[in-house]
Chains A and B, each alone.
Chain A
Amino acid sequence: MSAFLQTSFHGARRRYLIGRVFLYVSAALIVAWSAAPFLWQFSTSFQLDRDLVGSAPKLWPDPISFDHFINIFVAKSFHRYLFNSLVVAGLTTLLCLLIGSIAAYALARLNVRGRFGILGFILAVSMFPQIAVVAPLYMLASQLGWLDTYRILVTVYLALGLPFVTWVLFGHFRTIPSSIDEAARIDGAKPLTIFFRIIAPMSLPGIVTTGLLCFIASWNEFMFALAFTSDIDRQTVPVGIANFTDLHYVPWGDIAAASVVVTLPLVAMVLGFQQHIISGLTGGAVKE
């Protein structure tokens, strides 16, 4: 009996160890697979063109060169795309948070009739394929004289971002006990006062994370920016990078440098807000 227990104990222990090794190998593979392409882009951005087209790629840049970074700003005016993207994504995020959080507050905590109908409508609309609205919006924008403006991009991104912001913040606001509003209402506070002085400050982490996700989405958007802007004074970063082709060859080094410039801040923000982002992205996905 005791011999049997011992062998089964050893067997279990061996199986446990094999499982652990398997787990760590898989985890390492996941990290390598996720990070390697960007790390290669990072290394590329510091290499000289002649090293990039050499017979064997160098994993580590030698010599380290900043030519590509200088090139994208001096020759390709990359800072103008960056500025446009900052304006568009920044404005979109602020307006999206303001309009979306107030709507979410009303839907979550005030007696709005047919609130689930409204939420369902917003969700359904958010699933419309964007290609189905780009042509009509182009015609409208051209009639209004809004082509090549920040206005048109902000308006479109706002409509794309609002469903997401409203839904996520709706979820957040529902978790706050309703006794808090009631107390404030008894004290005579108006709904918007309650929202701005009590509910919004209480949900600040959620609001910041939602804003970050909204910013990333606007920063990364390509199709509308491509269709609605043709002037470098209004084109955003994705359009700029997509158009980075010289006449006779593809400037992979410059492209890599531009990729690093636009992606590093995003990656830094995402890693900083990691925990919140994961819960923000997946919060609505499953019923608790």
Chain B
Amino acid sequence: MPIAKTMTHADLAPRFKLPRWRLGPFVLVVPALVFVGAVSVYPVLLGLWLSLRNTTLSSPEDAFVGLANYQQLLSDGGFWNAWIHTIEFMGASTLLETVVGLGMALVMSERFLGRGVVRAAVLIPWAIPTVVTSKMFGWLFDGQHGIVNYLLRSCGLIPGNLNWYGSPELALPTIIIADVWKTTPFMALLLLAGLQTIPRSLSEAAAIDGASPWKRFWSVRLPLLAPSLLIAALFRALDAFRIFDLVYVLTGGGPADSTEVLSTLTYKNLFSALQFGYGSALSTTMFVTEILVAIGFGFFLLKRFREVQL
């Protein structure tokens, strides 16, 4: 067997006649690959196939229809409605979570009394099940007895109770607030890990040269953090694109479809209308969009890094 392309310490170490297992190691990876393949790769291919059929579980209809489902999708007002809400949600939540998360990370990266408490506290929203978060915000923002309305009224910020997620204008913003609460901590911890790899000495040197805290952040730490920041934002955006639990439990896509997003629309087509063909066309479209975004972003990052190196 030729020496493996990647040199490990074992390869570089003086050679005793160590026994080598040839097929052995791969066998240990097989169970994991089988599960992942059976539950991810195979179903995705099956979904692609379903999207070309008019399968409906409530009727015996099940025939090959080519791209008819995709044609229907392009002229489906409900699809474009959900598409717009998804993009709005993705843009707003990613932006807010990145900015607020960066702020939290900057605070947590400082040394101060009780830093452990802060780091523990931010894990609370992350650990709470999303369904519980939805219900919790449903109660906080309840139109009649919600405490948020009460507090805002007490401060004189609003004249009367707002019907937050019960009104078409405020429902999506309410969902965005709930998502920002739930997900920002994770973002903050990722960015904190990124910040901690930047040597303190750089920032301290700038301070000695008389740079203000803002200048130190903007010209020293932020550029060095940029790669972590961009990657974290990408993962967040891809994740936000498939938002399901929050919307499904808090508003069910309503009122008047004002919070319908692609995942909830797809789920309803699949499991309420039982249109597995059309529903699969929707989910395949989401899948392809995500791949394109990921590839596009990958190229953007590669270009950025090359420029930095040149």
Please give the residue numbers on chain A whose beta carbons come within 8 Å of chain B beta carbons, in ascending order. 19-20, 23-24, 26-27, 30-31, 33-35, 37-38, 40-41, 44, 52-54, 56-57, 99-100, 102-103, 105-107, 110-113, 115-116, 118, 121-122, 125, 127-140, 155-156, 158-160, 162-163, 166, 177-179, 181-182, 185-186, 191-192, 216, 219-220, 222-223, 226-227, 237-239, 241-242, 244, 250, 252, 255-256, 259, 262-263, 266-267, 269-271, 274, 277-278, 281-283, 285-288
Contacts and interface: CB of A to CB of B under 8 A. Distances in A.
A274 B197 contact: no
B16 interface: yes
A282 B190 contact: yes
A223 B25 contact: no
B290 A250 contact: no
B10 to A, nearest CB: 5
Contacts of A162: 32, 35-36
Nearest to B282: A131
B54 interface: no
Interface residues of B, number: 104
Which of A41, A111, A223, A262 has the most B CB atoms < 10 Å from its CB?
A111
A266 B139 contact: no
A237 B131 CA distance: 9
A122 B32 contact: yes
Contacts of A129: 241-242, 263, 283, 286-287, 290
Contacts of B270: 134-135, 138, 227
Given A241-B135, A274-B120, A131 B276 contact: no
B132 to A, nearest CB: 4
Nearest to B154: A56
B18 interface: yes
Contacts of A132: 43-44, 47, 283-284, 286-287
Given A127-B238, A131-B286, A259-B128, 4 more contacts: A24-B112, A27-B114, A128-B287, A239-B131
Given A127-B290, A132-B44, A286-B228, A103 B32 contact: yes
Contact of B193 (A19, A102, A285): A285
B232 interface: yes
Given A103-B31, A166-B32, A263-B129, A112 B25 contact: yes
Given A128-B44, A250-B138, A282-B192, A103 B18 contact: no
Given A37-B140, A37-B181, A106-B25, A159 B4 contact: no
Interface stretch (B67-75, B142-150, B168-176): B142-150
B6 interface: yes
B307 interface: no
Nearest to B107: A26
B152 to A, nearest CB: 13
B292 interface: no
A34 B121 contact: yes
A125 B41 contact: yes
A177 B122 CA distance: 34
B164 interface: no
A155 B129 contact: no
Nearest to B270: A135
29 contacts: A23-B110, A26-B103, A30-B121, A34-B121, A34-B125, A40-B140, A102-B31, A110-B25, A111-B20, A127-B290, A131-B262, A131-B266, A132-B283, A133-B44, A136-B42, A136-B50, A138-B271, A181-B10, A185-B18, A186-B18, A191-B25, A238-B245, A259-B135, A262-B132, A263-B128, A270-B126, A274-B120, A278-B189, A285-B231
Nearest to B32: A103
A31 B121 contact: yes
Interface in B106-132: 107-108, 110, 112, 114-132
Majority secondary structure, A binding face: helix
B136 A259 contact: yes
B150 A252 contact: no
Contacts of A105: 28
Majority secondary structure, B binding face: helix
Given A34-B185, A262-B129, A135 B280 contact: yes
Nearest to A118: B29
B213 to A, nearest CB: 7
Nearest to B21: A191
Contacts of B116: 274
Contacts of A278: 119, 123, 189, 192-193
Contacts of B42: 136
A54 B145 CA distance: 8
Given A131-B263, A131-B267, A27 B123 contact: no
B65 to A, nearest CB: 16
A159 B36 contact: yes
Listed from nearest, the 5 A-B pairs whose CB atoms lie closest are A159-B39, A110-B25, A282-B193, A106-B28, A136-B46
Contacts of A281: 186, 189-190
A277 B140 CA distance: 29
A219 B129 contact: yes
Given A106-B28, A133-B43, A220 B129 contact: yes
A177 B12 CA distance: 13
A130 B38 CA distance: 14
A57 B138 CA distance: 15
A203 to B, nearest CB: 16
A267 B50 contact: no
A138 B16 CA distance: 53
